C-alpha cells in the first residue's frame, strides 16, 4: 500500500483527507509533507505520493517540490537579493522537463556553424552567434527574446566561434551536468557538452530552474551553446 508506513488508521485518514481535498490550505499541505517525512518517507517518495493521490485544483508539481524540500531541509539563508533555489534531484529535474515538453526527435545538424544556424532557424529555433570567450552571443541579443532574427541577419553574422540557441515560445532545453542520461532522452534531440553532460531539446515551454551541481531547465529567454561549436557533439 502506498501509505503502509502510517500505522494509525486515523492518521492515514487525515493524510487522505488532505490529499483528496480540492482546496487544502497551505498549512495542511505543510503538515502533510512534515508528517510523511516523520513516518519515514523521503522527499522523492513524498512527491510521488502527492503526485499520484492528490486531487488539488491547480496542482503544480514544481511548486510543490520546492515547498516540500523547504519543509524537509529547512529554510536556507541566501545573500540578500537572491532567490532560494529549489533542492531538486537530477531525476526530479528531468521529470519536470519531460512532463512539460514533447520529444523533438533527433535532428541531423550540419557540421558547419553557418549552415547549422540556418538549419536550426528553419526548424523553429533561435540561433545566435557565440562570443569568442564566453557562453553568450557576441551580439546584442535581448531583442530576439520576443522577435526572432531574420534569415538575412543570420546569413550576415560571423559564426566562426560557434553558436548559441535561445529558448523561445516553442522550444526549451534541459542542461544536465552528469553523464549517463542519454537513454532517458532517446526520443529527444540530444547534444553532448565538453564536460560530459548533455543538452536535450524539448517541444514546449518550461520555467527556468538552476540547481547547483545538478543542471538547469532552460525556459524562454535563456541560452545554451549548441553543436557544432567546438567541444560539442551529437551522437554519431
What pLDDT, in 10s, does the model give residues 184-232?
A: 999 999 999 998 999 999 999 998 888 877 889 999 999 999 999 999 9
- Of 200, 224, 232, the C-alpha closest to 96 is 200
Domain boundary among 52, 87, 122: 87
| End-to-end CA, the chain | 45
* pTM, two decimal places: 0.64
Any domain includes 133:
yes
Question: Residue written as cell 570567450?
Answer: 133
> Which structural domain range is residue 105 located in?
96-234
Please, are residues 88 and 209 in contact by the beta-carbon 8 Å criterion? yes
111 with 174, same domain: the answer is yes
Query: Dihedral of CA 210/211/216/218: which sign?
Result: negative
55 with 131, same domain: the answer is no
214 with 151, same domain: the answer is yes
Instruction: Give the pLDDT confidence of 106-139 residue by residue, as tens digits.
Output: 999 999 999 999 999 999 999 999 999 999 999 9
Separation between Cα atoms, residue 198 and residue 177, nearest integer Å: 7
| Mean pLDDT, range 133-162, rounded to an integer | 94
Please, are residues 199 and 234 in contact by the beta-carbon 8 Å criterion? no
Separation between Cα atoms, residue 189 and residue 194, nearest integer Å: 17
Any domain includes 30:
yes
74 with 189, same domain: the answer is no
Any domain includes 58:
yes
Question: Residue written as cell 516540500?
Answer: 68
152 with 65, same domain: the answer is no
200 with 180, same domain: the answer is yes
Domain boundary among 55, 87, 119: 87
Return the ∠ at Cα 177 (arms to 171 and 182), rounded to 5°.
Answer: 65
81 with 119, same domain: the answer is no
Three-class SS state of 168: coil
In the beta sheet, which residues pair with residue 102? 203
Domain boundary among 63, 87, 111: 87
Any domain includes 66:
yes
* Residue 35: burial class (beta carbons within 10 Å; 0-12, 13-18, 19+): middle
Q: What is the pLDDT of residue 77?
A: 42
Q: How many domains does the chain have?
A: 2
55 with 145, same domain: the answer is no
186 with 163, same domain: the answer is yes
124 with 185, same domain: the answer is yes
Any domain includes 191:
yes
83 with 174, same domain: the answer is no
65 with 136, same domain: the answer is no
Any domain includes 4:
no
Amino acid at each position: 500500500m502506498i501509505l503502509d508506513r502510517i500505522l494509525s488508521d486515523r492518521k492515514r485518514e487525515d493524510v487522505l483527507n488532505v490529499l483528496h481535498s480540492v482546496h487544502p490550505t497551505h498549512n495542511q499541505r505543510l503538515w502533510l509533507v512534515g508528517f510523511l517525512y516523520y513516518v519515514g518517507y523521503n522527499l522523492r517518495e513524498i512527491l510521488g505520493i502527492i503526485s499520484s493521490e492528490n486531487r488539488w485544483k491547480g496542482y503544480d508539481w514544481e511548486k510543490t517540490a520546492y515547498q516540500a524540500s523547504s519543509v524537509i531541509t529547512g529554510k536556507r539563508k541566501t545573500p540578500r537579493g537572491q532567490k532560494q533555489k529549489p533542492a531538486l534531484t537530477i531525476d526530479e529535474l528531468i521529470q519536470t522537463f519531460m512532463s512539460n515538453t514533447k520529444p523533438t526527435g533527433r535532428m541531423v545538424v550540419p557540421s558547419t556553424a553557418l549552415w547549422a544556424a540556418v538549419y536550426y532557424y528553419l526548424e523553429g529555433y533561435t540561433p545566435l552567434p557565440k562570443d569568442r570567450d564566453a557562453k553568450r552571443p557576441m551580439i546584442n541579443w535581448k531583442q530576439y527574446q520576443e522577435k526572432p532574427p531574420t534569415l538575412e541577419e543570420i546569413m550576415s553574422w560571423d559564426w566562426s566561434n560557434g553558436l548559441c540557441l535561445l529558448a523561445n515560445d516553442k522550444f526549451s532545453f534541459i542542461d544536465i551536468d552528469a553523464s549517463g542520461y542519454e537513454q532517458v532522452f532517446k526520443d529527444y534531440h540530444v547534444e553532448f557538452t565538453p564536460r560530459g553532460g548533455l543538452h536535450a531539446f524539448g517541444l514546449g515551454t518550461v520555467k527556468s530552474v538552476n540547481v547547483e551541481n545538478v543542471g538547469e531547465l532552460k525556459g524562454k529567454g535563456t541560452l545554451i551553446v549548441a553543436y557544432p561549436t567546438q567541444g560539442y557533439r551529437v551522437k554519431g
